[in-house]
Amino acid sequence: MRQKPRLFLVLGDQLHPDPHPLLSGVTPDDFVLMAEVAEESTHVWSHKARTTLFLSAMRHFAAHWRNRCRLTYLLLGTHSLHSLSEVLEDFVLHHPEVSTISVLEPGDARLARALVDCAQRLQKPLTVLPDPHFLCARDEFEHWAQRGERSTDNLRMEFFYRWMRRRTGVLMRDDLPVGGQWNFDAENRSGFGKNGPPPVPLPVRFVPDVITQSVMRDVEQVFPEHPGSLADFAWPVTPDEARAALHDFIVHRLPSFGQWQDAMWQGEAFLWHSLLAAAMNLKLLDPRDVIAEAEAAYLNGAAPLAAVEGFVRQILGWREFVRGVYWRHESAWPTANALNAAQPLPQWFWTGQTGAACLKAAITQTLEFGYAHHIQRLMVTGNFALLAGLHPRAVADWYLAVYVDAIAWVEEPNTLGMALFAIGGRMTSKPYIASGAYIKRMSNYCKGCVYRPEARTGPKACPFTTLYWDFLMRHDAMLRANPRMAMAYKNLDRLTSEEQTAIRAWAQIRLEQIDSV
Ligand code: FAD
Ligand code: SF4
């Protein structure tokens, strides 16, 4: 007897290469549905490059599958369905013979809930399959998180990372880390010093093809007011391009990745970073391949262990860890605000028009490329948002909007959990805060700035420095007892009460005039 057709919904960040984990069992009778919907670009005010990247990768994926299954693909601007739920509802109403709906687990709890609700309304069974892209499944993470080795709910990436190294055998020999240590931070994370970086290898660029160009036109037409530029769009949009980007990184930048991982330099947006997050997050690239290539570079002598370990830690450790944390605290993110921060987001976050050279550089390159590297996100924009007490929801929505690699499962825990300490100590042991002295040490931004990193008060005072001391005083009751904050409070206590009063007064002025920082 002929079976009723099933419906397979492919989401925009589930563009795995063949064999696709959702589509491998599809028969010619089954339906496959993909849709470009406005809501995914408008629920936060998405950067044009972010929307273009998603839609171009989706259209390339559809081109690959079009003749191999019964694919329905809805193009942006050619239909009036606003959300994926509306698309699903409309499709099933027109194809009532659909027996079941299947989807890989979404990377956004909001969308996951919407799809469950929609299937219920349609009275069709929904199967949500685990995404084999990740090295640690959600239930495995939960199992790890509940093991007896921690006495509290406060999870630490370092323990998770070691567990993942042991489970996968990556950079391991006889259950011990290769090189005799788990961590090479002492050799990594230097600044460039006065002379600046050596010549920076330019990353490979992927010139927009016909498909990408048509997406760019559509995005400019449908979202003309959205932030960001498409002038420099050169991101990989297919699995082949993603592999070429990986190869380019392994050969040209991995050997120095660790050493310059935290450094920043005016006019250098990419430095030795991999630029692979977006390709991995769209699933064009398998993290196992990325890790294997990096490990092979160490084994064949092409890259030092410190660089390779530093890089592997980001993918096997941080990337998998934040995903586990995202789902573990799924309900916390929409309202997370442990420090009761309430300042609105300054307008210059959308323009880069600020006198603070470090913020200007990070935001300007973000608007230009949809990219800033980790320390720019954490210790420049994130640090400022935390010190200034910007409202976590506004900040998280900004990060979700402006980065090409932004998807809820990775953006929310990084922004709310790590950068803003908005779920307290559940993800990091202390807030990541630093004064202008840190930014001065790790970059040359301060040289071209209207502010002075060492000045705490007065019109020339670095906003980071003023707000750093003010932050410690503002959150004294909550943070002083934290052993990892002991040094910061010891330094605060060295300031006279007159100095502390002057800082508080100046911080007040700075916060009242935050739009003109
Ligand atoms: P590299 O510096 O080359 O690092 C290698 C890879 O490691 C990255 O491609 C990424 O896949 C992984 N990685 C490194 N750090 C992290 C981390 N903390 N969490 C998850 N993966 C990590 N990353 C995203 O992919 N999407 C986001 O929306 C995102 N938002 C962030 C927001 C804030 C406030 C902060 C502090 C970090 C955020 N990150 C996010 C993590 C990190 O900054 C980016 O993954 C990285 O900058 C991407 O550039 P890259 O590919 O050149 O990374
Ligand atoms: Fe940034 Fe302060 Fe340095 Fe200016 S002085 S670049 S605001 S850290």
DSSP codes, 471-506: HHHHTHHHHTT-GGGHHHHHHHHHS-HHHHHHHHHH
Q: Is the pLDDT of residue 184 over 60?
A: yes
pLDDT score, position 79:
93
Strand partners, 31: 7, 70
Cα–Cα distance between 132 and 119 in angstroms, integer? 23
Q: Is the pLDDT of residue 228 over 70?
A: yes
Token couple for 119: 């299937």
pLDDT mean over 143-160: 78
- Which atom belonging to ligand 2 lies closest to the Cα atom of 436? 8
Q: What is the pTM of this model?
A: 0.97
What's the chain's average pLDDT?
96
Return the DSSP state at 147.
Answer: S
* 10 CB-near residues (< 8 Å, 6+ apart): 20, 22, 23, 32, 33, 34, 61, 103, 104
pLDDT score, position 187:
85
Give which of 162, 321, 196, 185 is closest to 261, Cα–Cα.
185
Q: Is the pLDDT of residue 150 over 60?
A: no
Give which of 454, 447, 464 is closest to 510, Cα–Cα.
464
Ligand nearest to the CA of residue 403, numbered in listed order: 1
**Span 238-272, pLDDT tens digits:** 999 999 999 999 999 999 999 999 999 999 999 99
Q: Is the pLDDT of residue 108 over 60?
A: yes
Return the DSSP state at 102.
Answer: E
Asked if residues 140 and 267 have their Cβ atoms less than 8 Å apart, the reply is no
Which of 314, 359, 398 to mutate for ligand 1's pocket (most ligand atoms within 8 Å of CB)?
314
Token couple for 457: 């008060």
Closest protein CA for atom 29 of ligand 1: 411
Mean pLDDT check: name the lowest of 138-147, 184-193, 478-487. Answer: 184-193
pLDDT score, position 1:
58
In three-state secondary structure terms, 79 is coil
Cα–Cα distance between 219 and 42 in angstroms, integer? 12
Q: Is the pLDDT of residue 172 over 60?
A: yes
Closest protein CA for atom 34 of ligand 1: 415
Burial 144-156 (b: 16+ CB within 10 A, else e): beeeeeeeeeebe
* 113 CB-near residues (< 8 Å, 6+ apart): none
pLDDT score, position 460:
97
Angle at 440 between CA 437 and CA 442, to 5 degrees: 110
Q: Is the CB of 170 under 6 A from ligand 1?
A: no
pLDDT mean over 283-308: 98
Compute, in angstroms, the gap from residue 134 CA to the centroid of ligand 2: 38
Number of H helices, E strands in the chain: 23, 7
Question: Residue 176 — pLDDT band, cuts 50, 70, 90?
Answer: very high
Q: Which whole-number Å values give the CA distances from 460 to 354, 451, 454, 456, 488, in the listed order?
A: 14, 5, 10, 9, 23
Mean pLDDT check: name the lowest of 131-140, 148-157, 294-303, 354-363. Answer: 148-157
* 180 CB-near residues (< 8 Å, 6+ apart): none
pLDDT score, position 155:
85
Asked if residues 101 and 126 have their Cβ atoms less than 8 Å apart, the reply is yes
Asked if residues 164 and 136 have their Cβ atoms less than 8 Å apart, the reply is yes
pLDDT score, position 153:
62
Closest protein CA for atom 41 of ligand 1: 374
- Number of other residues whose CB lies within 10 A of the CB of residue 379: 24
Strand partners, 129: 104
Percent of the chain whose pLDDT exceeds 70: 98
**Span 430-459, pLDDT tens digits:** 999 999 999 999 999 999 999 999 999 999
Q: Is the CB of 414 under 6 A from ligand 1?
A: yes
pLDDT mean over 129-148: 93
Compute, in angstroms, the gap from residue 374 CA to the centroid of ligand 1: 6
Closest protein CA for atom 3 of ligand 2: 446
Which of 379, 433, 440 to mutate for ligand 2's pocket (most ligand atoms within 8 Å of CB)?
440
Ligand nearest to the CA of residue 354, numbered in listed order: 2
Asked if residues 406 and 278 have their Cβ atoms less than 8 Å apart, the reply is no
pLDDT mean over 336-355: 98
Give which of 63, 72, 33, 36 is closest to 211, Cα–Cα.
63
Q: Is the pLDDT of residue 148 over 60?
A: no
- Ligand 2 pocket (Cβ < 6 Å) reads 356-358, 436, 439-440, 445-446, 449, 451-453, 462-464
Longest dimension (CA), the chain: 86
Ligand nearest to the CA of residue 416, numbered in listed order: 1
Cα–Cα distance between 69 and 302 in angstroms, integer? 43
| One-character DSSP codes across 351-378 | T---S-HHHHHHHHHHHHHS---HHIII
- Cα 33 to the center of its chain, rounded Å: 27
**Span 31-52, pLDDT tens digits:** 999 999 999 889 999 999 999 9
Q: Is the pLDDT of residue 339 over 90?
A: yes
Asked if residues 404 and 235 have their Cβ atoms less than 8 Å apart, the reply is yes
Rg (CA), the chain: 24
Asked if residues 307 and 254 have their Cβ atoms less than 8 Å apart, the reply is yes
Cα–Cα distance between 8 and 27 in angstroms, integer? 11
Q: Is the pLDDT of residue 151 over 50?
A: no
pLDDT score, position 185:
84
Asked if residues 446 and 358 have their Cβ atoms less than 8 Å apart, the reply is yes
- Which atom belonging to ligand 2 lies closest to the Cα atom of 440? 3
In three-state secondary structure terms, 83 is coil
Q: Is the CB of 322 under 6 A from ligand 1?
A: yes
Which of 141, 405, 416, 423 to mutate for ligand 1's pocket (most ligand atoms within 8 Å of CB)?
405
